[in-house]
Structure 1
Amino acid sequence: MARLLIVEDDETIGNMLASRLRMHDHEVVWQRTGRGAVREATVTDFDLVLLDLGLPDLDGIEVCGQIRRVQPECVLVMLTARQEEMDVVMGLDAGADDYLTKPFGLAEVLARIRAHLRRGAPSGPARQEHRIGDLVVDAGARRCFIVDREVALRAKEFDLLRRLAVDAGRAVSREDLMADVWDENWFGSTKTLDVHIAAVRAKLTEAAGGESATMPRIVTLRGHGYRLDGPRR
């Protein structure tokens, strides 16, 4: 069904994940070190990576960033025993799409993997191109531009921006964003949404080159969600 990379040094956890995922007809590669994972990611395309942050040779967040650079389209899920909020935020900033905190149930891992693998473009009108001010979101090509400058977005960042662009000028709740961009049965933390919003804002600002008058804005609606507004006139 899909090609998966497991990066886990714990033999018990690694064996459990690899065997169960193979039972579900996935093609699985298991690496026990960060260096091995990065090396594997440079030669093989993966649909999803399960990455333990507590690796014996390299810091997992560093490995996350390296894999993201060579596999910009794959889904990257962190597995971590770390409880500190900053570790999670750093991992999401480094390129992860999601995280699971150990100890986790196997059913939860399998459900999360199914959710990520079945996500295509977010639901919404079939229109392929959305223009908000000088921002163009081309859903068909999965590219976006501000004027003639392309905005380099990761897969989930693009899906999030497109979902906001579908309802530009209208409030979109956190629940709707999580359901449409991640999964309707999502049961994890929504912290990943805020980190992805921050990344999209930063990339839009960079692409606009300081021309704030022409740049659309993602407005935070406290207690509700977000809204994509056109440029101020």
Structure 2
Amino acid sequence: MQEDHLRIWQRGPKWRRWLVIVGMFLGGWTLLFGGWIGVALLRGATDRDAGAVAFNIVLVFFMATCMFLALHRALYRQFWHQDRKRAADGMHPVDTAFPSKAAWALPPPAVHWPWGLRLRHGVLRVIGMATLLHVFLPFGNQVAISGFLARYSAGWASAGSLATLLFAWVPLVLLLLLSMLLLSRQMRRRDAGLLDEEGKRLLQAETNWLFSFAAAFAMTVLLCRVFGAMVVRYL
């Protein structure tokens, strides 16, 4: 399996890695504050919360699109790394022919996704991004959530715990249950010995895709809430 070109390039002098880090940092902040100013100008609002509303729009849109998809891709790769690590230790029955020490550097294996799974993935991505935008993009929703947490919490510590429960664990558990439901048929076929090696590999890939999707969505929900709370409180 070939490593991606960026990782190969970064394995050179240390300044290359720093160049990537600094470039991503400066590019991200430029887009963030440029988008904030642009949205504020386009809205043309002059009320007291105009800056907070514009900043929330930019943050949530970035989280629901770029951050969500980036987290999903990173977690999908990490899940494959864990599978390779288990296989290298002789704990996994599928695909044990790979070098364990270099497993972290390998991208996920190429998977020939059937059109049905491609459609499922597309629908889940669209629903996930639409849900994030629908819940967190309106500034009034962020204010209402902050008010709800303050009303049913004893202080900042308990408010943080309640927010973590509602905006991280609940969506994670619900999506994991949905993932198990979507995978149940193929898992029963695998347990009955009806899947060939290609079918087992596809099931492994779909399991990693769905579980990493659930984790990425839960993390993005929590990030949207955390940054939303900061916008409501300080802007």
Superposition TM-score, scaled by structure 1 size: 0.29
Higher strand share: 1
Higher helix share: 2
Superposition TM-score, scaled by structure 2 size: 0.29
Larger Rg: 2
Q: Work out which structure has the larger RCO, using CA pairs closer than 8 Å and 6 or more positions apart in sequence.
A: 2
